[in-house]
């Protein structure tokens, strides 16, 4: 497992923006898949976006396409989630995750072995 720590959450009004960061510990570069997930109160955890750190292939949930962007810095030590056009339904605890993959893409349903503690995002109407 690798150590992950999220930051950047907060409270914003609808239409606002936030950028989440996920600081990854040593050996993260060996994990080909990085992703953002969220847990909305009363619902199951859901995938938001993933990125294959080797191929650069990204995957987004339909609910965030065109509004959220996943990216990583050049040394792959930090994963980002730029969130624009936030909606009240985006209110959730957001988690960063890392896992191995034999493919050049990362699915939400694959096994992510490492998880951060989460950062809360609250969007008011």
Q: Mean pLDDT, to the nearest integer, of 58-66? A: 97
Of 24, 26, 8, the closest CA to residue 16 belongs to: 8
Given this model, what pLDDT does residue 115 score? 94
Q: What is the pLDDT of residue 45?
A: 96
**Cα–Cα–Cα angle for 72, 78, 80, nearest 5°?**
55
pLDDT of 100 over the 90 cut:
no
- What pLDDT does residue 85 have? 98
Q: 40 and 122 in contact (C-beta within 8 Å)?
A: no
For residue 31, pLDDT beyond 80: no
Average pLDDT over residues 67-91: 93
pLDDT recorded at residue 26? 63
Q: What are phi and psi of 66, to 5 degrees?
A: 85, -10
Chain centre distance of CA 74? 17
């Amino acid at each position: 497992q690798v150590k992950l720590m999220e930051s950047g959450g907060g409270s914003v009004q609808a239409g606002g923006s936030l950028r989440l960061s996920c600081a990854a510990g040593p050996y993260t570069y060996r994990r080909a898949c990085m992703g953002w997930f969220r847990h909305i109160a009363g619902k199951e955890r859901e995938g938001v976006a993933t990125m294959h750190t080797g191929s650069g292939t990204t995957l987004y949930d339909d609910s965030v396409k065109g509004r959220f962007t996943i990216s990583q810095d050049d040394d792959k030590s930090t994963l980002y989630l730029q969130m624009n056009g936030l909606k009240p339904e985006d209110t959730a605890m957001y988690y960063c995750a890392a896992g191995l993959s034999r493919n050049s893409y990362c699915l939400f349903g694959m096994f992510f072995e490492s998880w951060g503690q989460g950062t809360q995002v609250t969007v008011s109407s």
